[in-house]
Amino acid sequence: MKRTRRGFTLIEVMAAFVIALVLIVPVASIISGISGSFGGLQRSVERRANLQLAAAAAMAVNPLRAGDFTLGDFRVEVRPRIDENTSDLRRAGWQLYTLSVSQPSVSSAQILETVRSAPL
């Protein structure tokens, strides 16, 4: 009586496993890289939106005068800027102010620092 072979040998199974790994590893690497790129893009968009809101808060301080102001979620510190070039501006009737914007609810780190001018 002749016996028929059914199934795969151990060598055939191992060869199929190696071929599958050779195909799967690069695909998994590509997918991982793409998901990391999308995550970085999302963080960049969030930082840009927060920076635009901080710039809007800095521009909303009106009239411009020294002090600390709270505008929405932002804290704006306004300080007169004094350096060697400001004396000419003062004679012309202008004052430079440094505005530092932070968001205390998220972190105490400064988000934006800008300079604005205002008439005396």
pLDDT in tens, 21-54: 999 999 999 999 999 999 999 999 999 999 999 9
Separation CA 10–CA 79 (nearest Å): 78
What is the structure's pLDDT at 3? Answer: 67
pLDDT band at 2 (very low <50, low <70, confident <90, very high): low
CA distances from 65 to 7, 61, 92, 98, 114 (A): 86, 8, 18, 10, 14
- Give yes or no for a contact between 66 and 39, defined as CB atoms under 8 angstroms apart: no
Residue 3 vs residue 94, higher pLDDT: 94
What is the structure's pLDDT at 1? Answer: 57
Question: Phi and psi (nearest 5°) for 36?
Answer: -65, -35
- Give yes or no for a contact between 114 and 99, defined as CB atoms under 8 angstroms apart: yes
pLDDT in tens, 46-83: 999 999 999 999 999 888 889 999 998 899 999 999 88
The full set of domain ranges for the chain reads 10-119
Residue identified by tokens 């590893």 is: 25
